[in-house]
Structure 1
Amino acid sequence: MIALQDRPTDQEAWIEQTFDCPAVRNGGILRTSAHAIKAGAGMDRFVAEVHRRGFRALENNGHVVVFCNRKSVAILRPKDVSAA
């Protein structure tokens, strides 16, 4: 029998399910919404998991994109536009 404290919380189950997909396993991209994250595990827990895995995440207009690898991320800009 599993003790109550040994069972994953709903938040932990959500994290496990979210990060258990081919995109994550293969170093691809995970896309979700900030609303889904807040409802599922909470933004702090989600960001902690992204960091624990060494991934990078970006948020824009309620959309969250996670780069599921340890490579650097660059924002692409035309050469004639200054960084603002």
Structure 2
Amino acid sequence: MEPEDMYVLSDNGSVLSAPSPKPYPHKPPKCTDCDSLFMKAYEKRDAGAVIHSHGMESCLVTMINPFSKEFRACS
């Protein structure tokens, strides 16, 4: 996942930037229908960001410990 693959939302949930179009046969990702839920998590947890993805790598990494309630990525 690259920065240009992500939606960036403002504090009030409006779209600040959308993913760059990709050549055929790729479809542009749609912004999640759960954006209001993720905005609440962002606000309540004082998070720096919320990244929501159903990409293969994202799904696989959460399967490392299936009983964990969270996955943290640190740089």
The alignment's TM-score, normalised by the length of structure 2, stands at 0.24
User: Structure 1-normalised TM-score?
Assistant: 0.22
Higher strand share: 1
Q: Which has the higher contact order (CA 8 A, sep 6+)?
A: 1
State which structure, 1 or 2, has the greater radius of gyration over its C-alpha atoms.
1
